[in-house]
A and B are shown apart, each in its own frame.
Chain A
């Protein structure tokens, strides 16, 4: 059996990214939207790793490492904001956050 090419990795990563983007557009629960953002970050990480092997360049993997750290920080801050907003509410949808609506 032939080994999978870099292009096939990139196509799978594109599929994962698109699924994540679709989820952000469709779902209304902020927590699920966050998970979909994680899906998109993972897709980008996968394509970085695939290109690092294709170009035989370790820098691609270093960038994935930094993306992981920034994603962790982003999740911590985002979930902190969600907890702060939702402490006084019962329902949890992004549509409910309309205080600034004219």
Chain B
């Protein structure tokens, strides 16, 4: 059962990611992104990260993709882009080679690290214990609002800075318009 969920969620994720890359219309690409984000949310559920799954759907699939779609519509770029012409000579081949090399490096690193992990995991006892959702929420809350409360406050500063900066960027200055 878990394996079936894993396979289906991974397929959703990767099909969505391929859709983002190959779709010519930006609106279709944004909707493919939703598929990927839901696949990741399903993975979070099966990894017992229930809070993250909820936040993934609300923040990413809800807010961020809507923001993307809003900007696409605002700029009026929702027309198909011609993907047949290659902008630079051999750009796609080089990008493909680089991507495959990166994939090889990552998989080898993960495979070698996985053995090390299994030997280290014995000693840890700060368990993500309990299969119920409540334990996950409590543990995460204790971690975010306890151990990392300074980082949490700093992210609130970051969000305020981002909002103020975006307003400054996006508004037309009153005098210069004329």
Q: Which residues of A contact B (CB under 8 A)?
A: 1-12, 14-23, 25-29, 31-32, 34-36, 38-39, 42, 45-46, 49-59, 61-62, 64-66, 68-77, 79-84, 86, 92-93, 95
Contacts and interface: CB of A to CB of B under 8 A. Distances in A.
A49 B95 contact: no
Contacts of B142: 58
Contacts of B55: 65, 68
A83 B128 contact: no
Contacts of B147: 59, 62
Contacts of A70: 155, 158
Nearest to B113: A10
Contact of B117 (A46, A51, A71): A51
Contact of B17 (A19, A34, A86): A19
Interface of B: 1-4, 6, 10, 13-14, 17-18, 20-21, 26, 29-30, 33, 36-37, 40, 43-44, 47-49, 51-52, 55-56, 59-60, 63-64, 67-68, 71-72, 74-75, 77, 81, 87, 91-92, 94-96, 98-100, 102-103, 106-107, 110-111, 114, 117, 120-121, 124-129, 136, 139-140, 142-144, 147-148, 151-152, 155, 158-159, 161-163, 165-166, 169-170
Contacts of A81: 169
A14 B136 CA distance: 26
Q: Which 9 A-B pairs have the closest CB atoms?
A: A80-B166, A25-B95, A14-B106, A73-B162, A10-B110, A22-B99, A4-B6, A19-B17, A23-B21
A69 B155 contact: yes
B47 A26 contact: no
A77 to B, nearest CB: 5
Given A19-B14, A31-B26, A38-B64, A65 B52 contact: yes
Contacts of B148: 62, 66
A4 B2 contact: yes
Contact of B91 (A26, A57, A82): A26
A72 B68 CA distance: 11
Nearest to B121: A55
